[in-house]
Amino acid sequence: MSYSDSGNAWRSDGAAHAYDPYLHPDLFRGVATRRAFAFLIDMVIISVPVILGYLFIAVFGVVTLGFGFLLFGIAWPASVVWAIVYYGACIGGPSSATIGMRLMDLELRTWYGAPGYFVLGATHAVLFWVTVSFLTPFVVLVGPFNSRRRLLHDFVLGTVVINNSVRAPVSQAARTY
């Protein structure tokens, strides 16, 4: 173990947290409210194809004289897979944010500053829904009591949601020429 001068904390690898809320408070200002609106936008984006799928199955069931109604059996699992793929692909993309997060100028990063990736995005969504199912409202109540406005599943996964419009000053890499 070594003592980190930049973070003033004991860490096994000597690295400090990439996003310090005391050095860069603008990174976390308004994140909780923006996150709530981003969640609502994402729910609309996820729900529209699901609703259209259910309507298609209903019409297809009528046209096929009831045979098409058997597709309702796979509609729910397909909806879950669609939501997981949506979160994984969006957070694993170049912006590290879902469409709702991009509209609200938010970005998901790991605690050490790396961008998101597909498995992290998919796991983030699954863990959020599992914790909300069992621990509501405690999942959301964790946010106001920490300086980075992290929710319960953010702590478990080691992620941070920051304002994308605010950039922390980063030292420039040394030139090799």
10 within some domain: no
Residue with tokens 């829904």: 129
Q: What's the rounded Cα separation, in Å, for the pair 90 and 137?
A: 26
172 within some domain: no
pLDDT of residue 144: 84
119 within some domain: yes
16 within some domain: no
Q: Could you give the number of structural domains in the chain?
A: 1
6 within some domain: no
> What sections of 68-144 are H helices per DSSP?
72-91, 99-103, 118-135, 138-141
pLDDT band at 14 (very low <50, low <70, confident <90, very high): very low
In the chain, the percentage of residues whose pLDDT exceeds 70 is 84
Q: What's the rounded Cα separation, in Å, for the pair 104 and 2?
A: 38
Q: What's the rounded Cα separation, in Å, for the pair 167 and 36?
A: 22
159 within some domain: yes
Tens-place pLDDT, residues 101-116: 999 999 999 988 899 9
pLDDT of residue 115: 93
Residue type, 93: G
Domain that holds residue 95: 23-163
